[in-house]
Amino acid sequence: MRPSVIAAGLFVTAGALHFLRPQLYAKIVPPALGHEAELVAISGLAEIVGGLGLLHPRTRRASGYGLILLLAAVWPANIYMAADAARFSSVAPAWVLWARVPLQLPLIWWIWRVSR
């Protein structure tokens, strides 16, 4: 299976989960940002659109840029979760939350490669 199809599946699935389980995602929006429901919907839609865009050669590069920007934008939520791991113990163990923080970089690199 092509890497772009795998990436598309990951992002479309993750984006759909924003609408199927919005309360989970709203919980991880840093309180300083506010507007949890709106941010969850916007980021979910961005993941779906970006993922679908990876499937077509004409939109793949633009979708890659968009997904990289999205990954950078949600990085603070990953850091917020790791820094307050006890609050998110029902989501994942602390070591998983901390592991997600640096793993954002290889994910960004992978999307860069897939979208070329």
Domain coordinates of the chain in residue numbers?
3-114
C-alpha span between 95 and 32 (Å, rounded): 24
Longest distance between any two alpha carbons in the chain, whole Å: 44
- H/E stretch holding 65 reads helix 57-83
CA nearest neighbour of 50 among 15, 3, 2: 15
Average pLDDT over residues 4-24: 96
**What integer pLDDT is reported at residue 67 of this predicted model?**
98
pLDDT band at 46 (very low <50, low <70, confident <90, very high): very high
| pLDDT over threshold 90, residue 95 | yes
- H/E stretch holding 93 reads none
**What integer pLDDT is reported at residue 109 of this predicted model?**
97
Average pLDDT over residues 28-50: 95
Q: Model pTM?
A: 0.91
pLDDT band at 1 (very low <50, low <70, confident <90, very high): confident
pLDDT tens, residue by residue, 50-92:
999 999 999 999 999 999 999 999 998 899 999 999 999 988 8
CA nearest neighbour of 104 among 71, 79, 63, 80: 71
C-alpha span between 105 and 71 (Å, rounded): 9
C-alpha span between 105 and 40 (Å, rounded): 22
CA nearest neighbour of 63 among 107, 7, 18: 7
